[in-house]
Structure 1
């Protein structure tokens, strides 16, 4: 098949720093390119040429600016070209205009969350129009599929679930850890209110009371609001929690940070469609303690590869889980081995691309 993937206008492919949607686009494209001819159209960036080839994937970059400017340039790129299928990532409003240009070509809408089918990015009617015009809608978890089906029942029959994946060759367990050092709790993600960093810091403060080893936190991620990040640093100082704030870590280096962790904590306070950082932790041989919400529950298996926290708005619930793993090395190692096995079996990019390829082949 000749597959065109239309990336969003915000971050180029590959992402210079990070961006789970753009990371997913390139990882899947590389795998699909083993059997198909894959082209990505993405926004231009001063670091990249207008056209490049990465592992067989042709990436064409067009000027962006506003969403309307980007869409206009995407349409110029498409004009006169022929594809067997077009995949649009996270932009329902792009589906109709692209469909009009190639009325006989199936268009897939790959949704990574509810963000761009919700206000302020979309009204219920405009999002419904985008889904209705798509031939296939891909959701990255059963949870997201259910949410979309309930919100847009007219499109429920065309929604398919495809889990995301992880580069299991890059995200690998470290060598032997020094058990005398501080117990290291890692958070990786955007430092924004919905991600629950205050809950984590308060939980570490509580867990330290019963832990035999000192506990340190590594917070890897930037914030679109510098003032919020500063407040988190101030909170850590106030609580006397030993926390290192790394700021934004480029994704090409983030695997090294995962190897420093004894446990990964994902204290999300709102619905997570999937949670890519959790499978990256698992592939790194790190047990996951995570909020029991959304697609996270499909990844983290309670008491197998990690611990699910039902009362995830309460720091004490996370503190109990952190203290449990800090004090039980055998349990922690058992979960670490299970996490790595599960990532290899269920969450490799090869498995993700194979599932997506079967869906697309059946539609073309």
Structure 2
């Protein structure tokens, strides 16, 4: 197959920092069988070449100061080429323009969240129109697949799901920390600093945890497009009088070390989380995960087996209770972390992700 993947317009592939969608594109493309030729179109940024060839993968980067300019340059670059299938990641609005250029080529929309099929980004009418133009719609979890079928029943026949993966060689458990009464208990969070991620809930939970575990401290990796929100979080930390380190954007090459620095990882999402790749990365890194029972997260975390799920995820007390329990029961924390590592290795590799996607695409092309 000759597969074209069109990345969003914001961040180059591979991403220097952040860019979970672009990271996913790059990792999947690397694991797609060399029997297939993969072309990735992504955003051009300073210090990135316009073209990179890596074995069976070709990455072409185009300029674009906004979505329309980027999409116009994408079309100009690819319009004389031939592909067996085109995958558009997280930009349903691109599909109608690409369909005009390639009226007979199967088009797949790979969605990583509900953001770009929901208000305020789009209307239900527009999202329905965009999705109908695709031959396939891929969600990154069973939860997202169900959401798509429920909200857009007219496309239900087209919807599939493919779980994302993790590089289990890069994300590995640390050497066991030496025990010590006064050693800090480090709680980790990674993700965008936006309200739906539930960081204030985690900060209030940390305040409660410190009543039982005085050495507990919080480390937060991730950036935000709104400096005012980060300022609010810092003010909240000061008001709560808890030790919080804001690390900002952490390069992907340094994320394995970030996970290994913690005693537990917390994902306090307050709205639908389609998959939650950070949870899988933490699991592969061999630390216990405490996460909201919401969206696709329960597809990854099995309560009391490879992590802890919090049903009452709007209440800081619910998270604090589980964090304290892990801190006071290191043998349980170790057992959960061990199962988490095993499950990440067996179920969530990029190779498995790529293989399932290949099978879906091969079936579509052969119809």
Q: TM-score, normalised by structure 2?
A: 0.96
More moved, 229-238 vs 130-139? 229-238
How big is each residue's C-alpha offset from its partner over 1:12-59, in whole Å with a ceiling of 9 and x where there is no partner? Answer: 111121111111010001111533111100111112011012354210
Report the equivalent of 2:165.
165
* Contact map agreement 2:218 2:244 (CA 8 A) in 1: yes
**Unmatched 5+ residue regions in structure 1?**
none
Report the equivalent of 1:143.
143
Query: 2 CA distance for matches of 1:127 and 1:58?
Result: 30
More moved, 352-361 vs 226-235? 226-235
* Contact map agreement 1:218 1:246 (CA 8 A) in 2: yes
Query: 1 CA distance for matches of 2:41 and 2:315?
Result: 43
More moved, 277-286 vs 55-64? 55-64
Report the equivalent of 1:206.
208
Report the equivalent of 2:275.
274
Report the equivalent of 2:90.
90
Query: 2 CA distance for matches of 1:98 and 1:193?
Result: 33
Query: 2 CA distance for matches of 1:80 and 1:15?
Result: 27
Report the equivalent of 2:237.
236
* Contact map agreement 1:274 1:295 (CA 8 A) in 2: yes
**Pair 1:57-2:57 in alignment:** yes
More moved, 190-199 vs 323-332? 190-199
Report the equivalent of 1:226.
227
Q: How many residues align?
A: 363
Match of 2:255, SS?
helix
Query: 2 CA distance for matches of 1:35 and 1:19?
Result: 27
Report the equivalent of 2:105.
105
How big is each residue's C-alpha offset from its partner over 1:289-327, in whole Å with a ceiling of 9 and x where there is no partner? Answer: 001100111111100111100111100000000001000
Match of 2:212, SS?
coil
Match of 2:68, SS?
helix
How big is each residue's C-alpha offset from its partner over 1:167-221, in whole Å with a ceiling of 9 and x where there is no partner? Answer: 111111111212222111100011111111111111111122223x611111111
Match of 1:209, SS?
helix
More moved, 51-60 vs 216-225? 51-60
Report the equivalent of 2:38.
38
Choose from 186, 189, 203 the match for 1:187.
Answer: 189
Query: 2 CA distance for matches of 1:231 and 1:41?
Result: 37
Report the equivalent of 1:311.
312
* Contact map agreement 1:33 1:57 (CA 8 A) in 2: no
Query: 1 CA distance for matches of 2:217 and 2:321?
Result: 16
Query: 2 CA distance for matches of 1:54 and 1:254?
Result: 24
Report the equivalent of 1:133.
133
Query: 2 CA distance for matches of 1:47 and 1:352?
Result: 30
What do you get for the CA RMSD once the two structures are aligned? Answer: 1.2
* Contact map agreement 2:36 2:56 (CA 8 A) in 1: no
How big is each residue's C-alpha offset from its partner over 1:46-95, in whole Å with a ceiling of 9 and x where there is no partner? Answer: 12011012354210011111211111111111111111111001111211
Query: 1 CA distance for matches of 2:46 and 2:215?
Result: 45
* Contact map agreement 2:18 2:222 (CA 8 A) in 1: no
Query: 2 CA distance for matches of 1:53 and 1:183?
Result: 44
Report the equivalent of 1:321.
322
Query: 2 CA distance for matches of 1:51 and 1:279?
Result: 31
* Contact map agreement 1:291 1:308 (CA 8 A) in 2: yes
Query: 2 CA distance for matches of 1:157 and 1:354?
Result: 21
How big is each residue's C-alpha offset from its partner over 1:255-276, in whole Å with a ceiling of 9 and x where there is no partner? Answer: 1100101100000111101111
Report the equivalent of 2:256.
255
How big is each residue's C-alpha offset from its partner over 1:116-151, in whole Å with a ceiling of 9 and x where there is no partner? Answer: 111222111111111111111100011111111111
**Pair 1:302-2:303 in alignment:** yes
**Pair 1:216-2:205 in alignment:** no
**Unmatched 5+ residue regions in structure 2?**
none
Match of 2:343, SS?
helix
**Pair 1:330-2:331 in alignment:** yes
